[in-house]
Amino acid sequence: MRFEGTLDIAAPRDRVWSFLTDPTQVTTCAPDVQSLDVSDPHHFKVVVRAGVGPIKGTFSMNVQFLELERPKHAAVLARGQAPGSAVQMVSNMDLSEFDDTHTVMEWSSEVTVSGMIQQVGARLMQGAADKITQQLFACIKTKLEASVPI
């Protein structure tokens, strides 16, 4: 499943870049974070709860920055599992400076779900994955545009 979008973020590009590439900041936009464990600047582990309605899973995600071209481009691989299920999300973010205070972020995410959730929830997954992905990026915009970092 591929999702993409373009965000106009009212924040300077450097600030957007540091937010996106800082595990402690960017994970504040992940759904329902249970724990975060940063092993090195390029790798971290985050446990999140995500789902739709009563279908909710705890996903233990290993996240890795695959590409970092400061301050223009980042690619992130997040791979994790819930019981009997696995999820993988490869996200690409391209930042361009609209002006000093505005950044345009083009993002895309390729989400693969395998196992139980895929089998039992296939008919619901497209919608759920879309929603979770949209929320993630919408949250990034909101946080960056807040006058004080939330």
Partner 1 sequence: MAVETAPATTTGTRRMKVHVTVNGQAHEVEVETRTLLVHFLRENLGMTGTHIGCDTTNCGACTVLLNGRPVKSCTVFAVQADGMSVATVEGLEKDGKLDPVQEGFHEEHGLQCGFCTPGMMITAAALLAANPDPSELQIRQAISGNLCRCTGYVNIVKSIQYAARKTRETAGGKAPDGG
Partner 2 sequence: MIPASFDYAVARDVGHAIQLLGTSGGEGKVLAGGQSLIPLMKFRLAQPALLIDINRVAGLSAIKENGDLRIGALVRENDLEANPIVRQRYPILVETAAVIADPLVRNLATIGGNLAHADPANDHPATMLAVRASVVAQGPKGERMIPIDELFVDTFTTSLAPDEILTQIRIPKPAPRSGGTYLKLERKVGDFAIAGVAVMIVLDASGKVASAGIGLTNAGPTAIRAGRAEDVLTDQMPDDKTIAEAASRAAAAAEPVSDLRGPAAYKKDVFRVLTRRAIVKAIARAKGGA
Partner 3 sequence: MAVEIGGIGQSVKRKEDARFIRGRGNYVDDVKLPGMLYLDIARSPYAHARIKSIDTSKALAIPGVLAVITGKDLVPLKLEWMPTLMSDRQMVLPTDTVLYQAQEVAAVVATERYIAADGVAAIEVDYEPLPVVVDPIKALQPGATLVREDREQKDNHIWHWEVGDKAGTDKAFKDAEVVVKQDIYIPRIHVSSIETCGMVASFDKINGKLTVWMTTQAPHAIRTVIALVAGHLGLSEERIRVISPDIGGGFGGKVPVYPGYVLAIGASVLTGHPVKWIEDRSENIQADSFARDYHITAELAAKKDGTMQALRVKTVADHGAFDAAANPSKYPAGLFHIITGSYPFAKSFVEVDGAYTNKPPGGIAYRCSFRVTEAAFTIERLVDVLALEIKKDPAELRMQNFIPPTAFPYTSSLGWEYDSGDYGRALKLAMDKIGYAELRKEQAAKRAKGELMGIGISSFTEIVGAGPSKHFDILGIKMFDSCEIRVHPTGKAMVRLGVKSQGQGHETTFAQIVAEELGLPVGDIAVEEGDTDTAPYGLGTYASRSTPVAGGATAIAARKIREKAKLIAAHLLEASPDDIEWKDYKFQVKGVPAKSKTMQEVAFAAYTNHPQGMEAGLEAVDYYDPPNLTFPFGSYICVVDIDRGTGEVKVRRFVAVDDCGTIINPMIVEGQIHGGLTMGLAPALYEQINYDDDGNIQGGNFMDYLLPTAMETPNWETAKTTTPSPHHPIGAKGVGESATVGAPAAIANAVVDALAHLGVRHIDIPITPWKVQKILKEKGVAE
88 touching partner 3, by CB under 8 A: yes
What separation, in Å, do the N-terminal and C-terminal C-alpha atoms of the chain show? Answer: 30
Using CB distances below 5 to 8 A depending on partner kind, what does residue 52 bind out of partner 3, partner 2, partner 1, none?
partner 2
Q: Smallest gap, in angstroms, from Cβ of residue 107 to partner 2?
A: 22
For partner 2, the binding residues in 113-132 under the rule CB under 8 A are: 116-117, 120-124, 126-128, 131
**From the CA atom positions of the chain, what is the Rg in Å?**
15
138 touching partner 2, by CB under 8 A: no
Query: What is the token pair recorded at 73?
Result: 């481009």
CA–CA gap between residue 113 and residue 69 (Å, rounded): 28
For partner 1, the binding residues in 62-91 under the rule CB under 8 A are: 80-83
| Pick from 46, 19, 44: nearest CA to 30 | 46
54 touching partner 3, by CB under 8 A: no
Write each residue from 82 to 111 as x if it is in contact with partner 2 (CB under 8 A), else as -, in one continuous string.
Answer: -xx---------------------------
Using CB distances below 5 to 8 A depending on partner kind, what does residue 88 bind out of partner 2, partner 3, partner 1, none?
partner 3
Strand partners, 44: 38, 63
Nearer to partner 1, 119 or 126 (CB): 119
Asked if 125 and 118 touch (Cβ cutoff 8 Å), the reply is yes
| Pick from 111, 100, 114, 101: nearest CA to 137 | 111
The number of residues making up the chain comes to: 150
Which residues are near partner 2 by CB under 8 A? 51-57, 83-84, 116-117, 120-124, 126-128, 131
